[in-house]
């Protein structure tokens, strides 16, 4: 991505971010997501993958939104996404709780494979590619200051 494109995205408030969501078990299932954040909307694509023991490859177009999830001691970013496959049928559900800098967190996700729903309840979310994540964190922090007061 060129510097000009990056600046235009920041001005328009569109941010791209990619995460790897996995339980880090050998041969376990993972979910890679490439997301676009514009305002409170989150869209993008996801791929559930498992190479061994019933190989899995589920592709999804993702759509959802983010919000704040606060307790007395902290605030996290909650991202809720639903995904549909090439046939237009729902095939993925994702809930991510991210640190307020958008760089890491925890997630649970469900995916439809061979007509059956499967669930990964406790997975680690890690930023997979450097992006405009620091600007996204800055913009959402400013938003929080205005709306949570």
Split at pLDDT 50, 70, 90, the class of 63 is very high
Other beta carbons within 10 Å of 73: 5
Contact 59, 89 (CB under 8 A): no
| pLDDT value at 57 more than 70 | yes
What confidence category does residue 7 fall into, taking pLDDT thresholds of 50, 70 and 90? very low
* The listed CATH number (3.40.50, 2.60.120, 2.40.160, 2.60.40) that belongs to domain 3-147: 2.40.160
- In the chain, what are the domain boundaries? 3-147
Give how far the C-alpha of residue 66 lies from the chain's centroid of Cα atoms, to the nearest Å: 9
Q: Once rounded to an integer, what is the mean pLDDT over residues 21-31?
A: 89
Among 28-32, 95-99, 101-105, 134-138, the minimum mean pLDDT is found in 134-138
pTM for this predicted structure: 0.80
- Mean pLDDT is lowest, of 21-35, 62-76, 124-138, for 124-138
Question: Is it the case that residue 47 has pLDDT exceeding 90?
Answer: yes
Question: In sequence order, which ranges of the chain are alpha helices (DSSP H)?
Answer: 3-12, 133-147
């Amino acid at each position: 991505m060129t510097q000009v494109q990056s600046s235009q995205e920041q001005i328009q408030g569109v941010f791209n971010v990619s995460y790897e969501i996995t339980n880090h078990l050998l041969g376990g299932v993972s979910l890679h997501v490439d997301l676009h954040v514009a305002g409170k909307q989150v869209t993008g694509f996801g791929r559930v993958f498992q190479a061994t023991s019933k190989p899995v490859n589920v592709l999804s177009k993702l759509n959802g939104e983010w919000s704040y999830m606060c307790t007395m001691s902290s605030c996290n970013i909650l991202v809720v996404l639903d995904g549909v496959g090439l046939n237009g049928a729902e095939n993925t559900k994702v809930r991510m709780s991210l640190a307020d800098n958008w760089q890491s967190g925890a997630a649970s996700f469900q995916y439809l494979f061979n007509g059956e729903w499967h669930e990964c309840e406790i997975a680690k979310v890690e930023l997979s590619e450097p992006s405009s994540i620091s600007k996204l964190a800055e913009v959402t922090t400013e938003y929080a200051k205005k709306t949570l007061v």
